[in-house]
Amino acid sequence: MNLEGRVALVTGAAQGIGRAIALALAEAGADIAGGDVKLEQLQAVAKEIEALGRKGLALPLDVSSPDSVKAAVDKILEVFGKIDVLVNNAGITKDNLLMRMKPEDWDLVLRVNLNGAFLCTRAVLPGMVKQRYGRIINIASVVAQAGNAGQANYVASKAGIIGLTKAVAAEVGSRNITVNAVAPGFIATAMTENLPEAVRQRMLSLIPLGRMGTDHNIACGVRFLASEEASYITGHVLNINGGMYMA
């Protein structure tokens, strides 16, 4: 899979799955712009990208803010001249049972996880349409399809991501832009490291492959969807979940 000459924007690239995606795309030859609210960590990732012989740009980015998204995309266009690949990866959780869920926690998760993908997609599309090329990959979750108690806001945001993926895929297919989602299962990152042991064991018991996934497992799927080899795949949800949910 060769991404030489391509420029990718990866949101939430400072750690975890986003960092792994940024590195995997750089290994395949792409120059990378990473955006995150954790700028210092992101700058360290940009150095890792440069060590791979690619350009790495670290940008302050809050995907829930239209102004911040516009500023980041303008900067990438100024530095690299184009964006070929967008990975909408930034995401958060604010878990609680629905009856106890604060409206502000509902709003925040929807704003970051779903509005963020909308804003970034809207910001990069004019350039992709003009150049008649684009790859958009949205990070969903297994829970979007399977549901999960205690995560109504997160599940709704990720189900929204799948709907967004299919709608935009239908809108921009004629411009040679593909739009797909990757739905990770239970992946070992900061997001999952503080789960109570009982929950961890229950989740593991649901996974036929019997282990948590790695951020690299997810990055490999994203790299494939960004590649020429995936040029006839659009509107698809790629499950990378060890068999936890078989759609």
Q: What share of the chain is helix, strand, coil (3-state, %, to 5)?
A: 50, 15, 35
Active site residue 133: no
Binding ligand NAD (rule: CB under 6 A), the pick from 34, 56, 91, 134 is 91
Q: Which is nearer to ligand NAD, 74 or 228 (CB)?
A: 74
CA nearest to 37, candidates 111, 115, 91, 108: 91
Stretch of residues binding ligand NAD (CB under 6 A), selected from 61-69, 97-105, 165-173, 231-239:
61-69
Is there binding between residue 200 and ligand NAD (CB under 6 A)? no
Alpha carbons 135 and 227: distance in angstroms, whole number = 8
- C-alpha–C-alpha distance, residues 111 and 60, integer Å: 17
Tell which positions 139-168 bind ligand NAD, by CB under 6 A.
Answer: 139, 141
Q: Rule CB under 6 A: say whether 12 interacts with ligand NAD.
A: yes
CB of 129 to ligand NAD, least distance (A): 24
18 in contact with ligand NAD (CB under 6 A)? yes
Q: Quick check: helix, strand or coil at residue 183? A: strand
Q: CA-CA distance, 154 to 196, in Å (whole number)?
A: 18
Query: Interface with ligand NAD includes 61 (CB under 6 A)?
Result: yes
Ramachandran region, residue 147 (left: φ > 0; alpha: ψ -120 to 50; beta: rest) = left
Contact 125, 178 (CB under 8 A): no
- Lay out the site mask for ligand NAD across 105-134 (x = CB under 6 A, - = otherwise): -------x----------------------
| Site of interaction with ligand NAD (CB under 6 A) | 11-12, 14-18, 36-38, 61-64, 89-92, 112, 139, 141, 184, 186-187, 189-192
